[in-house]
Chains A and B, each alone.
Chain A
Amino acid sequence: MGLNISLAPEVLFYIGSWPITNTFFWFFWVWLALLIGSFILRKNLKLVPGKVQNLIEMLISAAYDFTESIIGQGKKAKRIFPLVATQFFFVLTCNLLAYIPGQAAVTLNNGEKMVPLFRSIVSDYGLVFMMTMITVITIQVVAIIVSGPFSYLKKFLNFANPLKFFLGLMDLIGEIAKIVSLSFRLFGNIFAGEVLGAVMLFLAPFFVPLPFLFLGLLTAVVQAFVFAVLTLVFISMASEIDEGAESKAGA
């Protein structure tokens, strides 16, 4: 048994010329499950809740309270909550799905070689990058709406004096670094957890991987939380008309 680590998600099969990777395959099922689940929830919502509804309500209301605690109460929280909460719940579902045991054993022949059927959905950089892009686009749109297009542009391209020009350039780099760090944080953590688990399983199949499994479980929850909260924090920073805009670059 050789250790087969691939940075990219493995292609399972092709529909026409579209490569269907294992992450996209499972992304689709999780997506469908969440969609159908929300329809069912909408239909079965009652004023006097059952057990499942109670749990869902608790999760959503806790998430909403947390959102309000960071961005402040009112319309802002209501506007931004869907994006942040979806990121959290989706990433959490994806991450926890990877901990259903027995997945590593199932492989599929895609014509060229044997590839694993299951792969942690978030360890697909394309998906994470797109989610980050949604966040970044939202941040920029919020910033433009709040501060107006001209002062928004002025933040990055300021020819008043060399220092301000330099700081504006740094801001620009900071925005790009935001994309990189936000996306690679989630991808890196989950992928590293996968690789670590695989390596440990390869080296010592019994008992030794357990602590790493728990660590990975913690990482799965924490990274979902961190991704959503960073989105929230960035948006709340962009939504404030700030004087010290230079200081918030980076992260």
Chain B
Amino acid sequence: MEIQAAKYLAAGIAIGLGAIGPGIGEGIAASKALEAIGRNPEASGRITPLMFVSMAITESTAIYALVISLIILFG
């Protein structure tokens, strides 16, 4: 296998696998937040921004994967 092909493959696998965890995590965060809003609709104004922030933090792992795949591609 050529080294360039291996790099493309590795980059794809890296970002693909790295996106699994945050995908699940963000789903859990969203479901819990919606549950909380359903239970207590008055608090939606407080919960929604916190949900977005926590989802953004959950996303970090995927972003690390993105960075790694970029490094693999161009590094």
A and B touch in the complex (CB under 8 A): yes
Q: Is B36 an interface residue (CB 8 A)?
A: no
The answer, among A7, A69, A222, A251, for a CB contact under 8 Å with B57, is A251
Residues of A contacting B70 in the complex (Cβ-Cβ under 8 angstroms): 7
Quick one: which of B48-67 are within 8 Å of A by CB?
49, 52-53, 56-57, 59-60, 63-64, 66-67
Q: Is A181 an interface residue (CB 8 A)?
A: yes
Total interface residues on B, CB under 8 Å, equals: 13
Q: Is A131 an interface residue (CB 8 A)?
A: no
- Pair B53/A250 contact, Cβ less than 8 Å: no
Q: Main SS of chain A's interface residues? A: helix
Nearest chain B CB to A193 CB, angstrom units: 14
CA A226 – CA B64 in complex, angstroms?
17
CA A154 – CA B58 in complex, angstroms?
29
- Pair A226/B53 contact, Cβ less than 8 Å: yes
* A contact residues, range: 10 to 19
CA A69 – CA B52 in complex, angstroms?
16
Nearest chain B CB to A136 CB, angstrom units: 15
**Closest chain B residue to A181, Cβ basis:** B60
- Pair A184/B56 contact, Cβ less than 8 Å: no
- Pair B52/A225 contact, Cβ less than 8 Å: yes
**Closest chain A residue to B55, Cβ basis:** A226
CA A233 – CA B52 in complex, angstroms?
13
CA A58 – CA B53 in complex, angstroms?
22
Measured CB to CB, the residues of B under 8 A from A are: 46, 49, 52-53, 56-57, 59-60, 63-64, 66-67, 70
Q: List 6 A-B contacts (CB under 8 A).
A: A181-B63, A225-B52, A226-B53, A229-B56, A233-B53, A251-B60
